[in-house]
Amino acid sequence: MIKSLFAKLTDGLNKTKHGFTERIDQLINNYGTIDEELLEEIEEVLITADVGMNTTMKVIEELREELKERKVIESIGIKEVLKDVLINHIALEEESMVDYETTPQIILVIGVNGVGKTTSIGKIANKFKKNGKSVLLAAGDTFRAAAIDQLKVWGNRVEIDVIAQQEGSDPASVIYDGIQAAKSRKTDVLICDTAGRLHNKKNLIMELHKVFKIVEREYPEAKREVLLVLDATTGQNAINQAKNFKEVADITGIVLTKLDGTAKGGAILAIKDEVDIPVKLVGLGESVEDLEDFDGETFVNALLS
């Protein structure tokens, strides 16, 4: 049986719900009417779920205004208002979603090692393939032999070719080869892995700059997407990574992995607020099908269900 996104999110958010929704429900039961003390308690719940201090303050302020406007005074009514405030906070515009139709398209996937970058590439490739698109992968993380091998394993798994060179090769050269192969084969979507660990930001800037230059020169006709992969279990650290990568790349979307393994699912709210990059995909498990297009409204409804 194919699960709906709501059902998958409800299951996947179990750990976050335990520390978030259950505590909200307890507070509602403990307080008869809404007062400043209750709002402070909800503020603490949001911070504990890694929503972040700045975002929490905004959410609480919006919650306070909405409660006043709707004349809600009983604690039982606060959950529905909080739900609306959170949905309003992370609702995505249509152009912020993954585009499965435009071709040709090149997707550059960036992120540090260990966040699930290569696995996400395999799953993204599978999603495009299921949408009827021809796909090619380029193993641009050449600093780690395991990254090249891992991408080849995923290529075999989803039956998609991988363009690769030897460990230590110039990543920009691999991307160049990938573009030439995609053009000659008239491939719809080229998905490129990039270096996951460089010694300092200067190296990262230089490496990505070379890659982007190759893409601009060799494949100007392709729609470009730059996806940053973050690990949800790292909470605020993921937000710091996003801020660092935003300084060196024009990121168009975030892939948030391991959402099912964390009590810090609230980080999604902070990412949208503090980094202003839309979360486009979320990882909810190990299987090839467990990467879902993110929908803010469904996420909040599942979180507060």
Contacts 24+ apart (CB under 8 A), 36-42: 38/75, 38/78, 39/63, 39/64, 42/78, 42/82
pTM metric for this prediction: 0.90
pLDDT in tens, 56-76: 999 999 999 999 999 999 999
Task: Note the pLDDT of residue 144.
Answer: 79
Task: Note the pLDDT of residue 92.
Answer: 58
Contacts 24+ apart (CB under 8 A), 37-42: 38/75, 38/78, 39/63, 39/64, 42/78, 42/82
Task: Note the pLDDT of residue 3.
Answer: 64
CATH architecture group of domain 95-295: 3-Layer(aba) Sandwich (3.40)
Task: Note the pLDDT of residue 174.
Answer: 97
Q: Tell me, which fold does domain 5-90 have in CATH?
A: Four Helix Bundle (Hemerythrin (Met), subunit A) (1.20.120)
Of residues 175, 217, 177, the one with CA closest to residue 194: 175
Task: Note the pLDDT of residue 94.
Answer: 57
**Domain regions of the chain by residue span:** 5-90, 95-295
Task: Note the pLDDT of residue 229.
Answer: 95
Question: Which residues of the chain, if any, have pLDDT below 50?
Answer: 1
Beta-strand relationship, 279-283 and 291-293: antiparallel
> Hey, is 179 helix, strand or coil?
helix
Cα distances (Å, whole numbers) of residue 167 to 139, 157, 205: 10, 22, 20
Do 5-90 and 95-295 have matching folds?
no
> Cα–Cα distance between 52 and 49 in angstroms, integer?
8
Q: What are the residues whose beta carbons fall under 8 Å from the beta carbon of 52, sequence distance 6 or more?
A: 236, 239, 266, 267, 269, 270, 273, 274
- Backbone CA torsion sign across 98, 209, 175, 144: negative
Task: Note the pLDDT of residue 197.
Answer: 66
Task: Note the pLDDT of residue 204.
Answer: 78
Q: What are the residues whose beta carbons fall under 8 Å from the beta carbon of 191, sequence distance 6 or more?
A: 106, 107, 109, 121, 124, 125, 128, 135, 136, 137, 138
